[in-house]
Amino acid sequence: MSRRDLHDVAVVGGGVVGAACALALAGQGLDVCLLEATQPAPWSAADPDLRVYALAPDNAALLDALDAWRPVRATRAQPYRRMQVWDAGGGDALCFDADALARRELGWIVEHGLLVDVLWRALRHSTVRVRCPARVEAMEQDDDGVRLRLDDGVRVAARIAIAADGAASRLRTLAGIGVDGRDYAQRGVVGYVQTERPHEDTAWQRFLPSGPLALLPWVDGRCSIVWTLPNDEAARVLALGDHDFGRELTAAFDARLGTVVPASRRVAFPLQRQLSATQQAGRVLVVGDAAHAVHPLAGQGVNLGLRDVAALRALVTDARGRRVDWDSPHRLARWARTRRSENAVAAHAFEGINRLFSNDGVASTLLRGHLLGIAGRLPPVLDALWRRAAGT
């Protein structure tokens, strides 16, 4: 294989994390190719994506550096300025307020489809070589690089390969990296709703014994819901007519924003915690859901993946500044250790919170009401919690 056929980086998977990763590394002057199995569906303003993310400020800054944030903001992104978390069993609410934290907003609610659409438009104007549809089927590696075989027989070689191919990652499996997983036997029911009272630019979350219910502020006064329920309950509420669904949702939310009426179709997605044993095997790195799928209760799913990318971008910038190899084994290993440890702490913390709150035992009910109240009354705790969620 001639040097011209050898890329610096092959990114496998062009979801939000893979596309951002390809752009970030190409922006550092690396020769990057992106391999994606399925052409993304075009985003349509008239048909909002039901999958939305609460994007944290550090990740908005990353997207801005990739020229992808302004188009998203100009098209459709809803800032949220407050966050309120409370337990159905009683006790105080935990509140975050942008004013108190000297910020204009705490983050933005953005659609998955719009993010992918904008990132793929940025890819078209970048030096990234995109191959789509292209499904990675086989991989071999040695000390110098990685060779990938695609489903059409084409071979692609690179100094490193990055698995950004989602929770069922093929490249992670080919690299021999195992996963530790837990199926929560819960589903997240998502959709848009209209509330009787204004959402006040607030991300609301009520913990119920069946799981957390979040109402996230959305444009035109609507809210996006993420309603965590045991599998059979999720199937039951999905099958309800609009009137009954709205009635049950209003009750589950304790009518905090008055009557809630469905304003879109709704779907449910399975919830799991899955952590890869490591984020590196030789010259294969693992990012995004391929490395960590987490409970959506803290809205951190895609945020953690983008932080993998930001750390990788920082690694390359730092190595270039020092005129040393950006892909030396010890640098890649240090990136993987740091990211694995942060992602494992986050995944287990969300799992612990989900377990404590999805439970109507007397002790748990008393404990969580007190915990939220205590945290809410201690500014340093609030500040630390916020910094962790915001990546600042």
Ligand X SMILES: Cc1cc2nc3c(=O)[nH]c(=O)nc-3n(C[C@H](O)[C@H](O)[C@H](O)COP(=O)(O)OP(=O)(O)OC[C@H]3O[C@@H](n4cnc5c(N)ncnc54)[C@H](O)[C@@H]3O)c2cc1C
C-alpha span between 290 and 305 (Å, rounded): 9
Strand pairing category for 136-141 and 6-12: unpaired
C-alpha span between 30 and 320 (Å, rounded): 11
Is there binding between residue 203 and ligand X (CB under 6 A)? Answer: no
Nearest approach in angstroms of CB 367 to ligand X is 26
Nearest approach in angstroms of CB 152 to ligand X is 12
Please report, as a single letter, which amino acid is at residue 122.
A
Give the CA angle between residues 154, 157, 163 to the nearest 5°. Answer: 95
Is there binding between residue 37 and ligand X (CB under 6 A)? Answer: yes
Nearest approach in angstroms of CB 136 to ligand X is 4
Is there binding between residue 48 and ligand X (CB under 6 A)? Answer: no
C-alpha span between 87 and 368 (Å, rounded): 7
What phi, psi does 81 have (nearest 5°)? -110, -15
Is there binding between residue 305 and ligand X (CB under 6 A)? Answer: yes
Among 7, 51, 82, 222, binds ligand X (CB under 6 A): 51
Interface positions, 244-283, toward ligand X (CB under 6 A): 269
Residue 89 or 312: the one with the smaller Cβ distance to ligand X is 312
Structure tokens, 75:
């098209």
Residue 8 or 308: the one with the smaller Cβ distance to ligand X is 308
Structure tokens, 137:
């089927």
- Site for ligand X (CB under 6 A): how many residues? 31
Among 16, 66, 114, 310, binds ligand X (CB under 6 A): 16
- Return the residue matching tokens 């990234």: 128
Interface positions, 122-181, toward ligand X (CB under 6 A): 135-136, 164-166, 170
C-alpha span between 241 and 226 (Å, rounded): 18
C-alpha span between 94 and 187 (Å, rounded): 25
Structure tokens, 134:
């292209």
| Residue span 213-232 as binding mask against ligand X, x where in contact by CB under 6 A, dash where not | -------------x------
CB 268 within 8 A of CB 296: no
Is there binding between residue 302 and ligand X (CB under 6 A)? Answer: yes
Residue 91 or 208: the one with the smaller Cβ distance to ligand X is 208
Residue 107 or 299: the one with the smaller Cβ distance to ligand X is 299
Is there binding between residue 87 and ligand X (CB under 6 A)? Answer: no
Among 7, 8, 18, 204, binds ligand X (CB under 6 A): 18
Kindly tell me the burial class for residue 209, based on how many C-beta atoms sit within 10 Å of its own C-beta (0-12, 13-18, 19 or more).
Answer: middle
Among 47, 164, 57, 203, smallest CA distance to 113 is for 47
Is there binding between residue 309 and ligand X (CB under 6 A)? Answer: no
CA atoms within 13 A of residue 78's CA, in its CB half-sphere: 23
Is there binding between residue 327 and ligand X (CB under 6 A)? Answer: no
Which residues contact ligand X by CB under 6 A? 12-18, 35-38, 51-53, 112, 135-136, 164-166, 170, 190, 226, 269, 288-289, 296, 299, 301-302, 305
